[in-house]
């Protein structure tokens, strides 16, 4: 996806939704213990290849805004390219269910490897944080269109592999989630957030591989890289 970080229409829609319905807690973000899940994703930048002190400063400033925020530790940050198996549909999976899902990994790897091999490395430009009803996210601009080309090439192959992938869709926009709400923040949060977000640009990050990851706790709190597909050094 190319163009602006986030269009004016999308920003207006987010603000209108918050104004109409308020902020709300995410049911998958709990103090402890987090539920056991099983998801499968194609991702880049797990974790985000950005300056760690800069990320920690931004994370600390956000966490100080309201105790209701769960701010992602750097190791949990990522950019989802495609959700192949949603963790939300596989909460506390049985051993048999998990085994059947694990069997998908080599099939996906075989489909992704040749497509990724034709993709050059590319740069992500990270914008200032944006507020949604359940989360804070970083909009991302990818000028070269590499992610769009990758998705267009890989989606037909994946959907032919398994009925589970028929509903596979890319996220609405390229982004990385920064925080979610354990409980809805208190009064004045939106104004405090806007002031904090203005100085929260993390710069750019170069992507050199596509990752195939499991998601054994929500939002990549826990999981493994089960497939790593290097991209060529030169952009294409």
pLDDT tens digits, 29-48: 987 889 999 999 999 999 99
Distance, CA of 58 to CA of 75 (rounded, Å): 14
**Cα first-last separation, the chain:** 15
Q: DSSP H helical segments within the chain, as ranges?
A: 8-21, 52-63, 95-102, 104-117, 146-159, 189-197
If you ran DSSP here, which 8-state letter would residue 171 be given? -
Check if CATH label 2.40.160.40 holds for domain 8-230: no
pLDDT tens digits, 99-152: 999 999 999 999 999 999 999 999 999 999 999 999 999 999 999 899 999 999
Output the pLDDT for position 50: 95
- Count CB-CB contacts under 10 A for residue 141: 18
- Count CB-CB contacts under 10 A for residue 27: 10
Where are the domains positioned within the chain? 8-230
| Whole-prediction pTM | 0.93
Output the pLDDT for position 113: 96
Three-class secondary structure of residue 106 per DSSP: helix
If you ran DSSP here, which 8-state letter would residue 38 be given? -
Output the pLDDT for position 4: 56
Q: How confident is the model at residue 234 (pLDDT cuts 50, 70, 90)?
A: low
Torsion sign across C-alpha atoms 100, 105, 106, 110: positive
């Amino acid at each position: 996806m190319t163009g602006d970080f986030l269009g004016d229409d999308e920003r207006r829609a987010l603000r209108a939704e918050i104004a109409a319905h308020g902020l709300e807690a995410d049911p998958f973000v709990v103090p402890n213990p987090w539920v056991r899940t099983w998801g499968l994703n194609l991702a880049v930048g797990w974790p985000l290849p950005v300056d760690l002190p800069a990320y920690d400063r931004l994370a600390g400033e956000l966490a100080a805004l309201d105790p209701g925020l769960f701010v992602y530790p750097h190791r949990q940050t990522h950019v989802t390219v495609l959700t192949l198996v949603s963790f939300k549909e596989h909460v506390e999976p049985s051993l048999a269910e998990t085994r059947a899902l694990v069997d998908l990994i080599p099939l996906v790897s075989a489909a992704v490897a040749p497509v990724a091999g034709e993709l050059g490395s590319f740069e992500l430009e990270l914008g200032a944080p944006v507020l949604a009803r359940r989360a804070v996210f970083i909009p991302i601009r990818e000028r070269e269109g590499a992610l769009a080309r990758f998705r267009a090439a890989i989606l037909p192959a994946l959907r032919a592999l398994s009925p589970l992938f028929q509903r596979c869709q890319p996220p609405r926009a390229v982004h990385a989630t920064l925080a979610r709400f354990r409980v809805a923040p208190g009064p004045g949060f939106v104004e405090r957030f806007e002031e904090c977000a203005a100085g929260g640009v993390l710069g750019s990050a170069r992507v050199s591989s596509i990752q195939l990851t499991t998601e054994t706790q929500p939002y990549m709190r826990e999981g493994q890289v089960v497939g790593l597909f290097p991209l060529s050094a030169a952009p294409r």
